[in-house]
Chains A and B, each alone.
Chain A
Amino acid sequence: MTAITDRQKLAYANAQAADGRVNIEFETDQGMTLNMGPQHPATHGTLRVIVKLDGEQVIDCEPVMGYMHRGYEKLTEVRTYPQVTTLVNRIDWLGSFANEVPFILAAEKLMDVQAPPRAQWIRTILFELSRLGNVSLFVGDMALHIGAISAAFYALRDREFVLNQIEAATGGRFHPNFDRIGGLKDDLPKGWIADTKACMNKIRDFCDEMETLVEGNEIFQARTRGIGVIPADIALQFGLSGANLRASGIDWDLRRDQPVGLAWNEVDWNVITHPDGDSFARFWVRLQEIRESTSIIDQLLDGLPSGPIMAKVPRIIKVPEGEAWVATENPLGEMGYYVVSKGDLGPFRTKIRTASFNNLSILPWVCRGVLVPDVVTILASLYFILGDIDR
């Protein structure tokens, strides 16, 4: 056995004290404290939600994050720019490619490089594919949390088609690591376009299936309608983004409102909003966005320009001094990178803005007064990925 150093002892004592502080705060009042997590089926990861209960009614609730903190912001400082994409792949592990894009775009902005049109279009296609891979799992996951087991399997089954397409194009199912400064690693393989179109049809069938199986189910509606209502002004105050914001009736989508050079403006699509702001609205918005994404991908595949997929960039990438902020509409919401460069091989400092972290911050506000089963509904409908919270 290795000897425990004083430093480790101190760290342990500090952790205990921090743990105790959270608990004492809740235990001194009357009521029962329920510790949901860090290991709990509804938190799909290591999120801890401390819920103070009166019977089954939630009086207060507090999310405790950081059990999976991996220090990516710090790690980027000791990596070169091309190496960073490997790291940031793992932030939102269900929509990995979408994590790479804003970082690469920020680096390109600093270097004043423009990827050729074909690369931008393929980037957009892969971006939307990773959105499909991410959000289609959400649909099954939400049903699972409400108690319907089978829907989760249908989601896993149909997500496989999307993952196969991502794998065929990039070589990686979950972590493509495909985006390069100035373009892409490779061109699309032969026959990929037809396969992807067939895959989009399957995903649309999946949407139909989910609309009848889950969305149309009376029990599902009874469990989600009017649960966890977030009014538009509160949503803005807490800095929500993505589908959570659009479900509160705010027409805001970075794909349309903040063009970063990708090909969304070239095709015809709609931003989906829902006025209710409850759990059902969040589910509905995401399900409709899957449909919208399939139509975006179909149109992009039809109009894919020819040409090179890589701009002229030096062999060894040195990014000139400066600062850049690029944010995109990722599957979970607004994700942005603030990159500070001092002219080295790697970034001097990177700030990663992830959607889940802000989306989850509304949990104490929205959970007050609901019942324990509704906490699970709300957690599922806010939809977070633990890697995206803790990064």
Chain B
Amino acid sequence: MILGVDLSYWQVSVLRSLGILVAVLLPAGTFVYVFLFKMVSFMQSRLGPMEAGPFGSMQLLAEVGKFLQKEDIVPERADRRLFKLAPYFVVGTVLLVYLAVPFGPDMYFANLKGGVFYILAVSSISSLGVLMAGWSSANKYALIGGLRAAGQLIAYELPLVLAVVGVIIQAGTMNLSEIVSAQAGGSIFGFDGIGNPYLLTQFIAFGIFMIAVQAELGQTPFDMPIAESELVTGYITEYSGLRFLLFFIGEFASAGAFAAVAATLFLGGWAVPAAWADLNSNWFNLFGPLIMLVKMMILGGLIFFVRFTFPRFREDQLQKLAWTVLIPISLVNILATTILKVAF
């Protein structure tokens, strides 16, 4: 029963398959327009696209049309098969990440028991695509970019996992739907007026998670794999046309995906922070996705604000930051969470 309409199993399945495409493309498109086109323009004292559509809102469609018309070039000495396959890995990863994220009590694509575990596992697949792209391009910049991405993976994956462990301990489950209801029905030291959004009680984990996400996405303080002033554009250097577009969509869609994951883990997901709200109400199937989108936009704004403000780290500095700062802090956070969990 979704929104009072009785649907058979296959109808629900078709709706969910179509829904995941919407879930990937809609936030990605919104992110590109709101953050890449407009927010950055206002930050840099310019207007951004203004010609295509009202306030340039159709600019993205124009860009897609442009990329579709471009020639699909494969370098002569490239490993053709890997080269053509790589962008699909990057985009496919985003689809897999969205699979486990709930957008309402019944608005999910798959209600996985180990949802958090699953997301952390599949999110690394995109690095494989990046490495493939870097290696198969037969370009030294691309190769260095791909290897940097692989090296970065080791540095940020561990803090990412350790940050999430705090949330898992507090919620007592790895299922994302249950984490959402744990936040909505929780209490902060006895006060349960707004539930317990883990942003308030797991703020250290939230900070580490967002830093690690920044690295996972390859956004600016950690954009060494792309590093446009050093490596031209790193692993994307040789791509053009549709395949470049796929990388581009992948970049912004995965920003949306991780904003969705962070919103679910730390901001209460599709629920509102109010104890009186009935979480099983059908209205949340309708408004849950919208609430999610708002929370994703807030987190996306954070990600892109940092991206357009900060300079870039060096690869070794990222490793140093991860191993000497982020991992010890997240271990301490886990310890503190465990003690408090047992004590209260």
Contacts and interface: CB of A to CB of B under 8 A. Distances in A.
A145 B314 CA distance: 12
A361 interface: no
Contact of A220 (B227, B228, B311): B311
B312 A150 contact: no
Interface in B200-230: 220-221, 223-224, 227-230
Nearest to A217: B311
A147 B310 CA distance: 7
Contacts of B314: 222-223, 371, 373-374
A373 B315 contact: yes
Interface stretch (B43-51, B152-160, B265-273): B43-51
Bin the interface of chain A by size. Answer: 20 to 34
Interface in B288-306: none
A367 to B, nearest CB: 13
Contacts of B220: 147-149
Contact of A150 (B44, B221, B232): B44
Interface stretch (A34-42, A69-77, A347-355): A34-42
B72 interface: no
Given A32-B140, A40-B232, A373 B311 contact: no
A209 to B, nearest CB: 11
Interface in B310-328: 310-317
Contacts of A217: 310-311
Main secondary structure of the interface of A (DSSP, over half): helix
B308 A41 contact: no
Contacts of A153: 44-46
Contact of A147 (B144, B227, B232, B316): B227
Contact of A376 (B230, B308, B310, B317): B230
Nearest to A374: B314
A144 B230 contact: no
Interface in A26-58: 32, 34-35, 40-42, 56
A222 B320 CA distance: 12
A358 B43 CA distance: 37
A238 to B, nearest CB: 24
Interface of A: 32, 34-35, 40-42, 56, 143-150, 153-154, 157, 214, 217, 219-220, 222-223, 371-376
Given A147-B223, A219-B221, A223-B317, 14 more contacts: A32-B140, A144-B229, A147-B310, A148-B309, A150-B309, A154-B44, A217-B310, A219-B311, A222-B313, A223-B311, A223-B314, A373-B224, A373-B312, A374-B314
Which 5 A/B pairs are nearest by Cβ-Cβ distance?
A147-B312, A153-B44, A146-B311, A148-B311, A147-B311
